[in-house]
Structure 1
Amino acid sequence: MGGPNAQPLYRAGRSPVHRAPAEAKLVCLVLFVGAVVATPRESFVPYAVYAGMLIAIWALARVPITWIAPRMLIEAPFLVLAVLLPFAEAGERVHVMGLSLSVPGLYAAWGIVIKGTLGVAASLTFAATTPARELPLALTRLGVPATVTPVIVMMLRYADVLSEQIRRMHTARVARGDSPRMLHQVSAIAKGVGSLFLRSYERGERVHLAMMSRGFTGVVPETPGIGTAPRAVGSRWAVVLAPAVLAVVVAATAWGTR
């Protein structure tokens, strides 16, 4: 849990983006993604502005695009719907290379692809520049309910533990002659998933009881000198939220000139 792979998406650095308070970066992320989602899909220039903002932040944080691009493949399964929409939607049609495509479907596909891509890219930027240990304290500072914070903390803390357990279960099945690609092994795989769920649930119960017995209430206390991240003040809020404010202005302008 505390090994080098405890947070595979984080890239250690000393850039201004890395040093920015986590709570301010989290609010910036939410506002930026909200502005992207709210932007009308018929507009194209605003999305170029959003992409330019992300590229500028990557340059400032020294996060190469070659690191970002492979990790964005996580959105690939969700793009299948976008590919089908131009063929399935009704309305005005346009012919491209002998194919009859729906104009509303093309706009819908464009909206899914560009908004999803920008959202994933922004989330990866936040993860690459924010240590996981700062997130619980940032959530507490933002007033997130104490019942929610432990859930997020445990999810981040034990994601790698569960991944490693999945790998061990897979290795054990293969060592016993299992072939995961064969249809007759579907039942065994389903039983393995169920077993993993039960083990995870039981582990969560044990960890929760251990934390409660040690006086944990869900609120991450401020501990000066011990893993305390810098708190955002007025000037730092203004600087960190600047990209989000610009994104909101761009989205509002897109609606005003639509």
Structure 2
Amino acid sequence: MGAGHGHRLHFHGHSPVHRAPAHVKVLTLLGFMLVVVATPREAYAVLAAEAAVLLGVVLLSRVPLTYLLPRMVVELPFVVFAVLMPFISHGPRTEVLGITVSEPGLVAGVALLIKGSIGVLGALTLAATTEPQDLLRGLQRLRMPELLVQIMGFMIRYLDVVTAELGRMMTALRSRGCDPRSPRHWPVLARSLGALFIRSYERGERVHLAMLSRGYDGKLP
């Protein structure tokens, strides 16, 4: 199943990581993350070794860290939660830089931050070295349900369409004096996002009807 042209997360290259089969990369990342998750929180040396392995793969892929690191902003909610854990957790207290924090919370927060960063960087590396259509074919080879693969394919295909429509809506709002960053205008922004959701839903209905009219029976050619 195709997914159109390359996605914005993909970094064009010809490294061994780029050339590796998509299903192998997916299985490798899944197995690696299972090992990372199973690593005890206090095993910092093991976590450091796992991070070093991942950085080695990134270097082998020749994807610049300057390309990957800005995209790790998606990890921000985990970072905020990890920072708060030493302050909201119970248990024995310890002092760090003159601040009293929960020792179990500190250990858990550091482990969450390290493991989360490894997971996000690993996923970004997979996305940067694998074309979307190759990733979908790899998931098919791994026997992922066909319907889920199709949903992911359409999500990739129409993500740019919805994003562009959102950009036009934001431009229209700003031209009318609305500042989306101002809490005073958040109700307007919420209604606009609701309208975008309805438009996207209706577009999906039209696409589905068009597919049925062309003989769609649950499988794409």
Q: Could you tell me the TM-score, scaled by structure 2's length?
A: 0.92
SS in 1 for 2:8: coil
Superposed counterparts of 1:182-193, under 5 Å: 182-193=182-193
Superposed counterparts of 1:105-124, under 5 Å: 105-124=105-124
Residues 2 and 172 of structure 1, relative CA distance in 2, 3 Å threshold: farther
- Residue 155 of structure 1, CA deviation: 1.2
Q: Residue type of the partner of 1:10?
A: H
- In structure 1, distance between residues paired with 2:99 and 2:48: 28
- In structure 1, distance between residues paired with 2:136 and 2:149: 6
- In structure 1, distance between residues paired with 2:20 and 2:144: 20
Q: Residue type of the partner of 1:165?
A: E
User: Structure 1 runs of 4+ off > 2 angstroms?
Assistant: 179-184, 208-221
Identify the residue that residue 197 of structure 1 maps to in structure 2.
197
Please give the root-mean-square deviation of Cα atoms over the aligned residues, in Å: 1.8
Post-superposition Cα deviations, 1:128-170, rounded to whole Å, max 9, x if no partner, equal: 1000111222121111112211111111111111111111000
- Residue 220 of structure 1, CA deviation: 5.7
Determine whether 1:144 maps to 2:121.
no
- Residue 218 of structure 1, CA deviation: 5.0
Are the aligned partners of 1:146 and 1:217 in contact in 2 as well (CA < 8 Å)? no
Superposed counterparts of 1:65-80, under 5 Å: 65-80=65-80
Percent of matched pairs sharing the same residue: 46
Residues 219 and 55 of structure 1, relative CA distance in 2, 3 Å threshold: farther
Alignment gaps of 5+ in structure 1 = 222-258
- Residue 199 of structure 1, CA deviation: 0.7
Identify the residue that residue 103 of structure 2 maps to in structure 1.
103
Q: Could you tell me the TM-score, scaled by structure 1's length?
A: 0.79
Looking at both structures, which has the greater relative contact order when contacts are Cα pairs under 8 Å and sequence separation is at least 6?
1
- In structure 2, distance between residues paired with 1:203 and 1:82: 39
Aligned length: 219
- Residue 80 of structure 1, CA deviation: 1.0
Are the aligned partners of 1:137 and 1:220 in contact in 2 as well (CA < 8 Å)? no
- In structure 1, distance between residues paired with 2:119 and 2:18: 19
- In structure 2, distance between residues paired with 1:163 and 1:86: 37
Post-superposition Cα deviations, 1:91-136, rounded to whole Å, max 9, x if no partner, equal: 1111123211111000110121011100000001100100011122
Question: Hey, which of these two has a bigger chunk of helix by percent?
Answer: 2
